Amino acid sequence: MRWWMTYPMTIVDTIFKALAPAIPGRVIAGHHADLLASSFHGINTRTSEFFIGSFGPLGGGWGAKMTEDGVSGTVCINDGDTHNSPNEQAEFKFPIVVERYALVPDSGGAGRHRGGLGVERVVRARTNMMVNNQSDRAHCRPWGLNGGLDGDGNAVELRIGGQWKTDFPNAKVLVAQLRPGDASRSRSGGGGGYGSPFGRPVEQVRDDVRQGYVTVESAAELYGVVLDPETFEVDVAATEKLRAARPAADGGAHGAKSA
């Protein structure tokens, strides 16, 4: 029964999806729908004490709506009242270092309105410890609506001896041993997109790339917007050619002239 909270998140997502045809303006696309909580334990060599610690819940991407992008780095739908404690607090209490805590580019599903971005947290061990992480929604990716694309699923990885071990297909790590310098990485999924990606205005796609939310490659492949990787200037001719080949499903292709 410990994992009861895994189920209502996906159930609520599914109800929204079922209602989308009837009330499209009042639902969201799928979201990352998991706590992504991880726990660790070991002996603190500085104090010779046994410790038990945890991280979570990790925020992630929420689904887009008919009228707006999904929010990024937000706790799952049934834990909105859970506090997000600072990384420094955990580093002070336990022999760990948070190496990275950042949004994940391209994790949100592409769409006329883009899904919110997931979050990546990398935690390095400073002493021998055991790590557990039982996340879900690794395969049932947050779905898009009305032509929007799916967001990324949740994922877990370990860095052992300097090499990343990524073959955890179900996003679950059980009693994995870390030595000093090893690390665990939790990556929350992004929200699903809403509407055809080729219907997203060119200026918004360029802003996404400039802010690091979407890569240059994905801008061209998923949104049909060709950008200079250094200046982020729009290649108008190339963009119009791509978008003319795949007109937007939610109202026709948006050209690049405004750029």
Pick the last residue of a domain from 162, 187, 212.
Answer: 187
Q: Per residue in 111-154, pLDDT tens? A: 999 999 999 999 999 999 999 998 999 999 999 999 999 999 99
How many other CB atoms are there within 10 angstroms of residue 31's CB atom? 33
Kindly state whether residue 253 falls inside one of the protein's structural domains.
Answer: no
Burial group, residue 169, by CB count within 10 angstroms (0-12, 13-18, 19+)? exposed
Q: Per residue in 36-49, pLDDT tens? A: 989 999 999 888 99
Count up the domains in the chain and report the number: 2
- Average pLDDT in the chain: 91
Joined tokens for residue 17: 């999806």
Tokens 């050619």 identify what position?
241
| Structural domain of 225 | 198-245
Pick the last residue of a domain from 150, 165, 187.
Answer: 187
Report how far residue 143's alpha carbon sits from residue 172's, in angstroms, rounded to the nearest whole number. 21
Question: What is the pTM assigned to this prediction?
Answer: 0.91
Q: Per residue in 14-23, pLDDT tens? A: 999 999 999 9
Phi and psi at residue 76, in whole multiples of 5°?
-55, 165
